[in-house]
Structures are given as C-alpha cells and as structure tokens.
Chains A and B, each alone.
Chain A
C-alpha cells in the first residue's frame, strides 16, 4: 500500500467513575468545542464530537472527507435502557430510538464539520480498530477522518458484569481520532502498511523481510509481548494512558496504543500486532516524523 500520511490525532481517555450519580456530564465540553452543539444527543455522540473536534482543531476539511468509526459495542447505554424499557412494556422515546443507531455519532460529527461524504460504522470482534482502518484505506479521497469511540453504561457494577470483568475493575471511556491527508507535506506520522495474516508462520515470515526504522517500538495484543519482542528484537512500546491507569479495561486497546504513539513520538516507528482468539493477526507499522 501507499503510506498514509497522518495530519493529526487526538485522544480522550477518561476513567469511568463509580459514582451513584452516573457519569461525568460532557455537555459543557461539547458546547465549548462545537459552535452549534446539537441538543438531545447521547453520550457516544458527545464523546465522538469532543474527540473529533480536538483532532480537527478548527481546520476546514475537504467536504468529501469520509468518516469511519470503529465501535465494539456502540451505544451500549441506550441499547440497554431501551431493551429493558420495551420488555417492561414502556415505549421508547423517539429521539432516544433514533440516536441508538450507531451511525448517528458520525452524522453529528459530519454535521459539525460540514462533511457530506460517507459516514461508516465498522466493527470486527477482535480487530475493530484495524478492520476500520483497513476499510477506510480503500477510500480514494484525499482526507480520511477515523474515530474509535467507546462509552460505558451505568450502573458501572452492572456494566462490568455485562463485560465479564471482575467487580471493581477500572474501566475507560475513550474517543480516539485520526485525520489522514494524502496531500499533506509535513505529516506528524505515516501508516506505512497494514496487513492481515492467518497464521503465526505467515506473520513472522513477512515481518522477517521488513526493514524497520531504528528504535522501532513494539505493541502486542492477544499474545505474549515479551516472547514476540524477543523474537523480533524490538523494544516494547511503553505508554501511560492519559487516565493514568494502565490496568484499566478498554474494548479497543489497539486504538489507544497507536494514537498514543503518534501523539508522544517516543520512538521512530511502531509495529502494532494484534492476535485474535482464532489465531489471525493484524500487523500495522507506523513511522513518526519527529520520533526519537
């Protein structure tokens, strides 16, 4: 593939609070960032608007820039509430029902940024971030706006149970965004390649033939990072997420790792590897423009 130049990224990472009053209100942040903040939107849309606006930082994007959003469980809070309501015999509120469509988040982002190209939501069981990037790369447009957003549902104790997490496990809400511009002269980073493999053998055979920049860091998911690092002779990508809670659960750690590398530029390159439960791999290689 032709390398994809990255113009900007943003990361909103916050620890979900075990508050009896529910989550922290995001309305003021949305209003501060969006000139015409939409009313009556759900939390997933608010997280998306904050992340997208922070990434774009007031830039006027080409209107044909498509939006690709990666979700693992989408509007989980409203989905839970609506299912419980209808089974208990209560009719859904019309606005809540419309907004539970996961592509509504992208709609409000498109509306706030004046974009009118495709607005896609992509998911994949173990590879939501990677598969979304892969499909976005098929788009021929100059720009691409990619978001990976996850909300929690309250009560948090119930949500941990839903996600099969132990009681008290810290959980993150995240909104990661990446703006690519194929014509930008000074990108902050580039995605050099993205590949999928069906086996360990195919992956390591391919990696063995790749030239990596000196001081390329390694991020591994779904496999033993130390073992893979030793095999490849690369140093691990060590990052502290902005919520300062390295053990916290997030459904898309891949987005967190890749965006944090691009933001912090602690190495010259990042090799991100993710292995699924059935043994398939995605491999992504980013290079940083100012990496050390």
Chain B
C-alpha cells in the first residue's frame, strides 16, 4: 500500500467551460447533455472547445488549465522551479503537425514530397513546452498509453512523490482535436452519429471530445482545506489477450489491485466512475468486470457524454469533473442512459445522485493495447 498524494490545485478546460466551477451547471443537468455535440468537418459529432482553433488549439487549452492549477496551488518560487511534470496524452503534439501539413497541402506545397508530414517529431515536446512556458526546471515524464495515458501519469506521479523523487508534481492530461483520431475511430466503426449512451441497451458508440486538465499534487495534505482530495490507490495492468477489448476478469483484477493499494474493499466505495465508452463490447466487459467485484456495488456513472471521450486526457479530466460535482454534493448521472442492458446486468445512475461528503471513488481508464488502469480518489 502506497501513501496518498493530495490535490493542491486544479485546472480544467472542456467544452463545458473554463475551470472546475464552470463544469457544474452541465453536470447537474444530465438530460441537457445527452445530445450535446457540435458537428465536425467529418460529419461525426465532436465536443469542441470553440474558443481554441488552429495552431492555438493544443497549447491554448493546455496553458490555460495549467495556469489555473498553478494559481490555486500557490507554490513558492523554489517549489515551482523544482516541480516534476507528468504529461498523459494520446495526441501529444500531433494536432500541430496535422494542422501544419493541412496548411501546406491546401497551399499546394506538398507536391513532390517537398513537405512531408511531421517535422521535428518528439513524444517529449509537450512536456518541454510546459517547462519552458512556465519556467519549471524539474524532471519531465510523458506517458503515452492510449486512453489510459494521463491515468498512468497520475499513477507514476504518486509513486514518484511517495518515493521522494519530487516534492510536488504537475500532472496534465491533454487531448486536442485531430482529424486522424476522428477518422480513425470512424474507420473502426466505434463512433455514434446520434448521442452518447454508455451502458444503455441501445448504445451505439462513442463521441470524441477535446480538453485539458491539470492537477498539482503534493505529498503532504493541504492545511487550509476543509476537505482534502487525494489519490490514494492505483493499479495498472496489461490484458495481453486482445489489443482492443479486455476480458471482464482482467478488468476486475485491476480494480481489485487499485482497491488493495488504497486499503479498501468494493463495498466501502461511495461510487465508481466507469470508463464507460458507450461501445457495445467495452461497456459489456467493464460491466461484467464490475459485477465480479462483489454483490454490493456502489452507484456508478460514466462522465464521457458531458465532454466527449477525451482519450488519453480522460485520466485527469474525468476525476476533476467528479471532484467538481463532489464538492457540490452529487454524483453526476449518465447522460443518454434509459434502458438497462440485461447482458451487462448493471445500470448506472441515470440522474444526479447524492454523494456523501467523505469517502472514496474508484475511477476506471482502459486503452488500446490491453492497457487497464484504475485509480482510487478519496475526499476526507
């Protein structure tokens, strides 16, 4: 069992608004969100942040969320300089490369391979940008494990803080629109053209979205907070049986491991935030996996319909959505859910439900490559 790490500051940019408080009206009003998605250039719905476009999209939302977290954390200059940066993202800086190539293509300058795609590639570029933009001199780590990327960034930040590698950690999850992601998921026939309905019998796929979340974590609990939000358990595992769909037993294993790490049992949880992608097979595996945890399960929800599936950024964004609602005393409902799927045998909360002031919530994040990560957050 590892020690908890505590939230000192948070920042969040999603299609719902800027900052944690701005997410609340939408999270309360479950029904209003069910069909909320703008049409994208490719005719699949997508949750855009309208404020950021073109070359500004990625670093605009990223910078804004980090500023919020740093402002709230109020580190002194020396602590700020030594911050460790953990980035979790699927797209990394691909939006910039894609935009640059699209510009060149539309100008006709790609003929004869004069300008092939992706110049100056680097998986560490986003973290390096953060360090330079905010004057941070600590270590930089980028985790790139598909849809569990920023959940794995949080897992490693906790280990690093616990083992004294850093005093504070800035953990960031970011995902900005790329045509490649949208068209790629479209080619896999995983996108819904209608509305997001996780765990519903008639679910027909996911809707993507963009966003950026930032958490500033500390080994010591904040002294001036009435309630302390902590990451108190984490586990990650690989299900090598399928690159796209984990077995329920493996899903249950990783949830159990995270609970063990937190020193908790499933029946002690206040809620579960499911990965809940809204695809037929993933929701079935996850639902059946949750059933393997025991007969007395807490209420569970999927938050993806609110912001769209933000892929690798979800590991930070979704716990922050949860926190925003938790502070206001509720667990957001699952938009779009109306009919239980008998094969799953479990139903998420359809409307906002009361959440006790103190307790623990298990959060699931599953990605391509059999990459399964569960985190346990507590409010104490």
The answer for the CA separation of A107 and B118 in the assembled complex, in Å, is 25
**B367 close to A86 (CB less than 8 A):** no
Q: Which of B17-67 contact A (CB under 8 A)?
A: none
Q: Is A239 an interface residue (CB 8 A)?
A: no
B163 close to chain A: CB less than 8 A: yes
Q: How far is the CA of A84 from the CA of B180 in the complex (A)?
A: 10
Partner of A119, one of B128, B160, B238: B238
The CA of A120 and the CA of B150, in the complex, are separated in Å by 11
| Interface residue? A232 (CB, 8 A) | no
Contacts of A134 in B (CB 8 A): 139, 141, 165
What count of chain B residues pass the 8 Å CB interface test? 61
Q: Is A226's beta carbon under 8 Å from chain B?
A: no
A124 to B236 Cα, complex, angstroms: 21
Please choose the segment from B7-15, B90-98, B220-228 that sits at the chain A interface, where 4 or more of its residues have CB less than 8 A away.
B90-98
A83 at the interface (CB under 8 A from B): yes
Query: B residues within 8 A CB of A120?
Result: 143, 145, 152, 156, 236
How many chain A residues touch B (Cβ–Cβ < 8 Å)? 59
Query: Contact: A123 with B118, CB < 8 Å?
Result: no
Shortest A207–chain B CB gap in Å is 19
Name the residue in A97, A100, A118 with the highest tally of chain B Cβ atoms < 10 Å from its Cβ. A118
Contact A79 B118 (CB under 8 A): yes
Question: A94 interface residue, CB < 8 Å from B?
Answer: yes
Bound complex: CA of A87 vs CA of B116, how far in Å?
A: 12
Query: Which A residues between 81 and 98 are near B, CB-CB below 8 angstroms?
Result: 82-84, 86-88, 91-94, 97-98
Question: Is the Cβ of A103 less than 8 Å from the Cβ of B101?
Answer: no
Q: Is B359 an interface residue (CB 8 A)?
A: no
**Complex: how many Å from CA A139 to CA B137?**
24
Quick one: which of A94, A106, A126, A135 contacts B369, CB cutoff 8 A?
A: A106
Return chain A residues, CB-CB under 8 Å to B141.
122-124, 131, 134-135
Q: Contact at B116–A111, with CB atoms within 8 Å?
A: no
Cα A238 to Cα B123 with chains together (Å): 29
Using A101-B367, A107-B371 as known contacts, say yes or no to A118 and B237 having CB atoms under 8 A apart: yes
Interface centre among A106, A123, A138 (most CB of B within 10 A): A123
Q: Which of A82, A103, A131 contacts B144 (CB 8 A)?
A: A103
User: Would A125 and B186 be within 8 Å (CB), given that A83-B98, A107-B371, A115-B240 are in contact?
Assistant: no
B307-335 contacts to A, CB under 8 A, are: none
The answer to whether the Cβ of A244 comes within 8 Å of any Cβ in the partner chain is no
List of B residues within 8 angstroms of A125 by Cβ: 122, 124-125, 127-128, 140
Residue A161 at the chain B interface, CB threshold 8 Å = yes
Q: Which residues of A contact B241 (CB under 8 A)?
A: 111
| Chain A nearest Cβ from B115, distance in angstroms | 9
Q: Mark B236-248, 1 if CB is under 8 A from A, else 0.
A: 1111110110000
Question: By the criterion CB–CB under 8 Å, are B144 and A87 in contact?
Answer: no
Point out the residues of chain A lying under 8 angstroms from B127, CB to CB: 123-125
Which chain B residues (67-121) contact chain A, with CB distance < 8 Å? 82, 90, 94, 97-98, 101-102, 105, 113, 116-121
B16 at the interface (CB under 8 A from A): no
Smallest beta-carbon distance A45→chain B, Å: 10
**Chain B interface, >50% SS class:** mixed
Is the beta-carbon distance between B184 and A83 smaller than 8 angstroms? no
Residues of B within 8 A of A106 (CB): 238, 369
A138 to B143 CA separation, bound complex (whole angstroms): 15
- The CA of A112 and the CA of B55, in the complex, are separated in Å by 41
Given A88-B105, A116-B239, the answer on whether A124 and B140 have CB atoms closer than 8 Å is yes
Within 8 Å CB of B125, what residues of A?
A: 125
Q: A37 vs B349: C-alpha distance in the bound complex, in angstroms?
A: 44
Cβ-closest chain A residue relative to B163: A138
A237 to B56, CA, bound (A): 45
The answer, among B98, B120, B123, B159, for a CB contact under 8 Å with A138, is B159
Contact B124 A124, beta carbon cutoff 8 Å: yes
Are A164 and B120 within 8 A (Cβ)?
yes
Scoring A residues 64 to 83 as 1 if CB is less than 8 Å from chain B, else 0, what string do you get?
Answer: 00010001111010011011
Q: Verify if B212 is at the interface (C-beta below 8 Å from A).
A: no
User: Which residue of A is nearest B84, CB measured?
Assistant: A196
A116-B237, A155-B113 given; name 9 further pairs at CB < 8 Å: A72-B123, A83-B118, A106-B369, A118-B152, A118-B237, A122-B143, A124-B139, A126-B124, A135-B159
B residues bordering A, Cβ < 8 Å? 82, 90, 94, 97-98, 101-102, 105, 113, 116-125, 127-128, 131-132, 137-146, 152, 156, 159-160, 163, 165, 179-180, 183-188, 236-241, 243-244, 250, 367-371
What are 19 A-B residue pairs whose CB atoms fall within 8 Å in the complex?
A72-B124, A73-B121, A83-B98, A83-B101, A83-B117, A86-B98, A86-B184, A94-B188, A98-B243, A114-B240, A115-B240, A118-B237, A118-B238, A134-B139, A155-B113, A162-B116, A162-B120, A164-B120, A278-B131
